[in-house]
Amino acid sequence: MGLTCLKSEHCIYYRQTDAGILLIAVHVDDFFTVGSSKSVITNFKTQVKTKWQISEIGDAHFCLGIAIACNHVAHTISLLQTALINHVIAQFGLKDAVPVSVPMDPGLHLLHHDHSPCTDADHELMSRIPYRSLIGSLMYLAISTRPDIAYAVQQLCKFLDSYRHTHWEAAKCIVRYLKGTRDIQLVLGGDHMACLLAYTDSDLASCPDTQRSVSGYCCTLGSGIVTWSTRQQKTVSLSMCKAEYIAASKAGKEIKWLCTLLLELGFIQASASPLMCDNNGAIIFTEDSSFHARVKHIDMAHHSI
């Protein structure tokens, strides 16, 4: 049918003809169609019907637990998961829980093994707690529309095989936070220019078990956040500068991928995409083309920044 699979994202197909531009996003057996005109989309549907039997649901309002709301006046699209959050609250018996203002206590440090001994009764109690099920639900929320809980969920994902009561209480704290913020929406679009802007940050040796740092980034496209990530670094950083440098490298790779994706869609970035970092040492090292003596121990892969 003349559609081209994007090299940067194999689930998106692109076609440009004299009639207009057509974009197809595929998830298993669900198709999202976006066209520069209704005739372009209608023509594609007619072509598909010659090959397969399809169901036309109409404008996108709900998919994969994500509600989609379009504001044609403001040219924005809002994504939210209120229904899924309500389901999680009811499923894990937290309808009467008191909402909290943050997803995790900033001073909380979780360990793989508590120093206190665990009795057989404790093991029996833990086996009946649906910790893994709750974390799985929170993970989907964190990667879909709620970057504000990404760090807290990342911290709890480390204990799927060694959780205790403190971890369970921390997981319920995230649900209590979601209960009070269930109507928060991720708004994209508007009158902003589609210019990439990224932020990166890292802590230092926050994991008491491995002494590894946690780094994260988020990328915006003129308005709301379009991609984000929070992950524990694979190596131990010897300084805050190194931890921030590694985090910036990860963010740089994400920016490069987004630039390639936008280029294939016809949105060429007019200038370099700013990457915001709050560590002067890491910024200096990224500007220095030669390997400084203080960063000789850093893996070569991170110097791609």
Q: What's the rounded Cα separation, in Å, for the pair 18 and 153? A: 47
pLDDT of 31-48, one tens digit each? 899 999 999 999 999 999
CB-based burial of residue 216 (10 Å sphere; 0-12 exposed, 13-18 middle, 19+ buried)?
buried
Flag whether 71 is in a domain: no
Q: Does residue 8 carry a pLDDT above 60? A: yes
Q: What's the rounded Cα separation, in Å, for the pair 241 and 282? A: 5
SS3 label, residue 20: strand
Domain check: are 88 and 170 in the same one? yes
Q: Does residue 231 carry a pLDDT above 90? A: yes
pTM recorded for the entire structure: 0.88
Flag whether 99 is in a domain: yes
Residues 6 or more apart in contact with residue 236 via CB below 8 angstroms: 205, 210, 211, 212, 213
Domain check: are 41 and 122 in the same one? no
Q: Does residue 295 carry a pLDDT above 70? A: no
pLDDT of 87-130, one tens digit each? 999 999 999 999 999 999 988 888 886 545 566 676 777 778 99
Domain check: are 202 and 290 in the same one? yes
SS3 label, residue 83: helix
- Inter-CA distances, 131 with 57, 86, 89, Å: 36, 18, 14
Q: What's the rounded Cα separation, in Å, for the pair 243 and 189? A: 33
Q: What's the rounded Cα separation, in Å, for the pair 139 and 160? A: 12
Residue written as tokens 């210019």?
195
Q: Does residue 132 carry a pLDDT above 90? A: yes
Q: Is the separation of the CB atoms in 282 and 241 below 8 Å?
A: yes
Domain check: are 12 and 48 in the same one? yes
Number of domains in the chain: 3
> Which pLDDT does position 298 carry in this prediction?
75
Flag whether 200 is in a domain: yes
**Residue that terminates a domain, selected from 122, 147, 180:** 180
pLDDT of 173-211, one tens digit each? 999 999 999 999 999 998 888 889 999 999 998 888 889
Q: What percent of the chain has pLDDT over 90?
A: 66
> Which pLDDT does position 29 carry in this prediction?
85
Round the CA-based radius of gyration of the chain to a whole number and report it: 23
**Residue 215 forms beta bridges with which residues?**
202, 231
Length of the chain: 305
Q: What is the CATH number of the domain that holds 237?
A: 3.30.420.10
Residues 6 or more apart in contact with residue 9 via CB below 8 angstroms: 261
- The torsion angles phi and psi of 26, rounded to 5 degrees, stand at -115, 130
Q: Report the pLDDT averaged over residues 136-155.
A: 96
For residue 48, give its domain range. Answer: 1-57
> Which pLDDT does position 42 carry in this prediction?
92
CA 199 to chain centre: 13
Q: Kindly state the tokens that stand for 81.
A: 């998961």
> Which pLDDT does position 292 carry in this prediction?
64
